[in-house]
Structure 1
Amino acid sequence: MIIVPIVIGLNHTSAPLEIREQMSLSVDVIRKLLSNLPVLDGDVINEAVILSTCNRTELYCIANPKMLDKLFLWFAKTGSINPDVFRKHSYHYIDFDAVYHIFRVSSGLDSMVLGEPEILGQMKKAVLIAKEAKGVGFFFHRLFQDAFSVAKTVRTQTDIGRNSISIASSCLKLSSIVMNNGIQNAKVLFIGAGEMIELCIKHFSSVNFGGLVISNRTLAKSKNLADKFSIDFIPFEQIYDDISDFDIIISCTASNDFIIDNSYAEKLSYSTNKLMIDLAVPRDIDPVIGNLNNVKLYSIDDLASIIKQGLDARRASIPKADNIILAKVKIFMKWAHQRDLTLTITNLINKIENIKLLEIERANSMISKNFNKEYVISVMAHRLTKKFLHGLINAMKNSEEKDFSHIHGYLSKVIDSQDK
């Protein structure tokens, strides 16, 4: 059975936010899925990693390509999305193309922010979770180590990571534009305590604001980040009461429900002008809040136009980065094919060894019954030849027309080499 790397997923270019949030998977869900990989009509998934970020949800697995339709259906069911909708907005890659895609993702070439480094950390975390769930074996261990290595090479040998262009820096730029550069008096509330919020606080801390405040469901996490950046924090339950005090609200949590829902509408409508940036997938802020006259609400997809403005220098590095990636993919695929060949040869040797031992046992039994030794040797040689060639001949007869020329060519080489 042929098993190869397969990628199935959707991202910021293939699916809008309202579709992506239906396939956003929590760490707990991913752990459960990888710890109990399904058998799909008798076919197994040999290894698997799931990467779920605000901009993509992807399944990386080792499986038979004939399982593709079943894999699509299973992966769609892991989210809260209609399988037909998932198919419409998703993509897939197999074998060489799958490895190429994974290497491009790790290097930041497939990101909304071209060359951003955060995706590498997110992929490393996804692989670690998969390892803990026993989803990573020898093949994926090598593949992802190479993916991490090529990402480092791309960043050090090209300008793909040049200039400060990230979702966090784009939030700062958007704040400056919307507030008409009057940010020095603006008070900012950060909701959440994950990596993205920490990056945002880091960028905003470099500018003089009227005040930076963080809030998270877990008070200890809020306090830790507040202490780290010397900013204030408020209890999560206090957000509703204090929200009118803030000019800019940036939210990015892992909640499946709105943090700022329609119940805030009346309170916000009597407040000063607000800029609200929702970086979460699924979203933290009910889109109806954006209908208020004094609120400008931006989702992560709305940041795309700001991000594009600073990418010219990075785009010039794409051909060089792609060449580096392609070279690394070819090296990996050569290793993979050699490994497959070694396994095939080992299996072939073991099978022939078993046939040999059975025929020796049969020959010894005939000799013990006083059969002529020359006759026994002749029968054993005939049976060995027949059994050795049986599987090969059947494979040739049952091969598809498109494969026959390749099989014929390889057999001709084998026959020619034996004649020399």
Structure 2
Amino acid sequence: MAFIALGINHKTASVDVRERVAFTPEQLVEALQQLCRITPSREAAILSTCNRSELYLEQDHPSADEVLAWLAGYHNLSLEELRACAYVHQDDDAVRHMMRVASGLDSMVLGEPQILGQMKSAYAVAREAGTVGPLLGRLFQATFSTAKTVRTDTAIGENPVSVAFAAVSLARQIFSDLHRSQALLIGAGETITLVARHLHEQGVKRIVVANRTLERASLLAEEFGAHAVLLADMPQELVNSDIVISSTASQLPILGKGAVERALKQRRHKPIFMVDIAVPRDIEPEVGELDDVYLYTVDDLHEVVAENLKSRQGAAQAAEELVGAGVEDFMQRLRELAAVDVLRAYRQQAERLRDEEVAKAQRMLQNGTSADEVLAQLARGLTNKLLHAPSVQLKKLSADGRFDALAVAQELFALDEGSDKSSQ
């Protein structure tokens, strides 16, 4: 048995690579089932966000190379290109990595809360796909429990800091007075909801939410007093938008250079601040080449994020200690679980031997043998059968010079060495 966590994230891979390795929600179930079918992975889950794509696996024997080859093939990357930015964690380190990710300790924004929900979604999808079993399931539950403890017992989640918050903070640096600005938000997911909340709190003059479905956009718009439109209406809204922040699950850019150029002409080249939080990207990179456009991707938010994180740094050490305790507790329980299987098998064997001796005793009673003699024979026969296999194995270990195993046996059977010598 081996736990493996492997993948890429914002620390090891550029946004260009991350968007090529990202899984769409529609791909996940089929990808999970294929992963377990083609690789030696008995259990599997996939976490895919704008900042990371990670695979969590349980295997009989660790074989990360086969999984990396599958991942590269699935996304049409060369194995060498993937190896250059991938990381692999095994057993205790894999458990620690999952717990650190769920607790927000491995995020671009230290302590950001969305990642725990994303990991819970990854677990739910893996259960739906039938690729999570008892071992990986226990690891996920332990991970969620540790992350909850980190949130409850440390200050790592205080002072709202997220990619969404960082984007709005950057907008505040560029526009001194957001009360006069209009914002166009593309998408209606969790990140855009956070952006809308922050912009609303900053008193932005007008917020427009554009989405593929008007119903979803309207629900979000209603919450913050915004205006809902379809993606097809973006060109008209773009003309009046000073701030554009996008985060959808589209596999292709939905805002191109041409549309932005036309909007700038109508705006008489009044600047537009844009943040593309999506992976794959929603806004064509060429848009950044236009004069009067300030285009940022998630990778560009590092400096803003770092400035906002100072208040959380002190809590990080305490959080790391809680994660360490969570890893130790889980691995101990896992080792105990392995002992349970051995004990179960040993008990079944002992019960079988007992039943055989009881049946023999019952036949002796039926044949008229005295009860005292039957009891003595039952005790003697059961003792001999229970000791036979351990005796044979101990003699073999001794003959092979396995004195370490003999010492373990002494401890296992709780034998007092002094009393044993006095009985000789």
State the TM-score, normalized to the length of structure 2: 0.83
Counterpart of 1:104 (choices 94, 100, 106) is: 100
Listed as ranges, the matches of 1:278-293 within 5 Å are: 278-293=276-291
Listed as ranges, the matches of 1:17-416 within 5 Å are: 17-40=15-38, 43=40, 45-179=41-175, 181-270=176-265, 271-347=269-345, 410=408, 413=411
* Structure 1 range deviating more: 229-238 or 111-120: 229-238
Query: Which residue is 1:362 aligned to?
Result: none
**CA shift digits 1:12-45 (9 cap, x unpaired):** 111111111111111111111224443447x3x2
SS in 1 for 2:185: strand
Query: Which residue is 1:363 aligned to?
Result: none
Matches of 2:179 and 2:388, distance apart in 1? 87
Alpha carbons of structure 1 residues 176 and 340: separation in structure 2 relative to 1, 3 Å = same
Matches of 1:99 and 1:79, distance apart in 2? 26
| AA aligned opposite 1:175 | A
Query: Which residue is 2:375 aligned to?
Result: none
Q: CA deviation at 1:345?
A: 3.9
Q: CA deviation at 1:92?
A: 1.1
Given that 1:352 and 1:388 are in contact with CA atoms closer than 8 Å, whether structure 2 keeps it comes out as no
Q: CA deviation at 1:225?
A: 1.1
**CA shift digits 1:266-297 (9 cap, x unpaired):** 31452421101000001111111000011010
Alpha carbons of structure 1 residues 184 and 325: separation in structure 2 relative to 1, 3 Å = same
**Greater Rg, structure 1 or structure 2?**
2
Alpha carbons of structure 1 residues 304 and 29: separation in structure 2 relative to 1, 3 Å = same
Matches of 1:391 and 1:73, distance apart in 2? 45
RMSD: 3.2
**CA shift digits 1:323-349 (9 cap, x unpaired):** 111112111111101111222343466
Q: CA deviation at 1:393?
A: 6.7
Q: CA deviation at 1:55?
A: 0.8
* Structure 1 range deviating more: 58-67 or 302-311: 58-67
Matches of 1:55 and 1:345, distance apart in 2? 44
| AA aligned opposite 2:54 | E
Number of equivalences: 391
Matches of 2:226 and 2:3, distance apart in 1? 46
Given that 1:65 and 1:94 are in contact with CA atoms closer than 8 Å, whether structure 2 keeps it comes out as no
Alpha carbons of structure 1 residues 387 and 280: separation in structure 2 relative to 1, 3 Å = same
Alpha carbons of structure 1 residues 228 and 406: separation in structure 2 relative to 1, 3 Å = farther
Matches of 1:337 and 1:140, distance apart in 2? 14
In structure 2, runs of 5+ residues without a counterpart are 357-383
In structure 1, runs of 5+ residues without a counterpart are 359-380, 398-403
| AA aligned opposite 1:213 | V
* Structure 1 range deviating more: 121-130 or 131-140: 131-140
Q: CA deviation at 1:82?
A: 2.3
Matches of 1:132 and 1:282, distance apart in 2? 25
